[in-house]
């Protein structure tokens, strides 16, 4: 999938698949290295998307005086 068409959700699914493959340890070394490299690329892509979303949210919630209206939102942590 070309990077310009890749969504955050698609990248996250691909990254999770790569992590599972690497954790299983069944890939030959060369394939493991390629998968790891792709995982790093996907991780950077996801991080950029999250950073961009955070900046947009901060901009949208900015107060009229220019200060940020930042509040911590407690998200429940999955207990698996």
Site of tokens 């209206």 = 69
Can you tell me the mean pLDDT for 45-49? 95
Share of the chain above pLDDT 90, in %: 59
CA distance 23 to 16: 10
CA distance 61 to 57: 6
Contact 46, 11 (CB under 8 A): yes
Asked whether the predicted pLDDT for residue 3 surpasses 70, the reply is: no
In the Cβ-directed half-sphere of 64, how many Cα atoms lie within 13 Å? 0
Contact 54, 62 (CB under 8 A): no
The model's pLDDT over 4-41, given as tens digits with 9 standing for 90+, comes to 699 999 999 999 999 999 999 999 999 999 999 999 99
Domain boundaries, the chain: 29-61
Asked whether the predicted pLDDT for residue 70 surpasses 70, the reply is: no
């Amino acid at each position: 999938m070309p990077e310009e068409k890749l969504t955050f959700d698609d990248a996250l699914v691909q990254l999770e698949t790569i992590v599972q493959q690497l954790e299983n340890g069944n890939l030959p070394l060369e394939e493991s290295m390629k998968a790891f490299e792709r995982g790093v690329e996907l991780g950077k892509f996801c991080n950029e998307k999250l950073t961009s979303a955070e900046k947009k949210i901060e901009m949208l919630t900015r107060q009229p005086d220019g200060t940020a209206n930042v509040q911590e939102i407690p998200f429940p942590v999955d207990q698996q």
